Amino acid sequence: MSKKLSLCRCWRSETFPLCDGSHKAYNEEYNDNVGPVNIEWDDDSEEYNESKTLAEPDIQSMNASTELSSLEMIDSNGSGDNGSHTSSHSNDDSNLF
């Protein structure tokens, strides 16, 4: 059995997130062409509401990365970074984008 759903994209629907046709008045007023997203799917499966993942999250990896980020920096000579170095990074963010 096939199911259909229309989702609002004009943000004017009284039944949001479902479309109620409000986009028609919006399109007329603003000379736009927005309409709903129409979704259709087969509802033959009893498992369609189940979410599945490939594997459980690797908590050990998450903990390891947190622990590594808290370690003090070691330079190439093996000595610890005491924070007295100067950074070449400026506070100018204008070239980021």
The predicted structure's pLDDT at residue 97: 40
Mean pLDDT, consecutive 10-residue stretches, the chain (97 aa), reads 90 95 96 94 67 61 52 51 47 48
Rounded CA-CA distance 73/62 in Å is 19
First-residue to last-residue Cα distance in the chain: 48
Domain locations along the chain: 2-42
Handedness of CA 46, 51, 55, 59 (dihedral sign): negative
Q: Which amino acid is at 58?
A: D
Given a contact cutoff of 8 angstroms between Cβ atoms, the answer to whether 14 and 22 are in contact is yes
Specify the fold of 2-42: Ribosomal Protein L9; domain 1 (3.40.5)
Cα 19 versus chain centre, distance = 23
The predicted structure's pLDDT at residue 59: 58
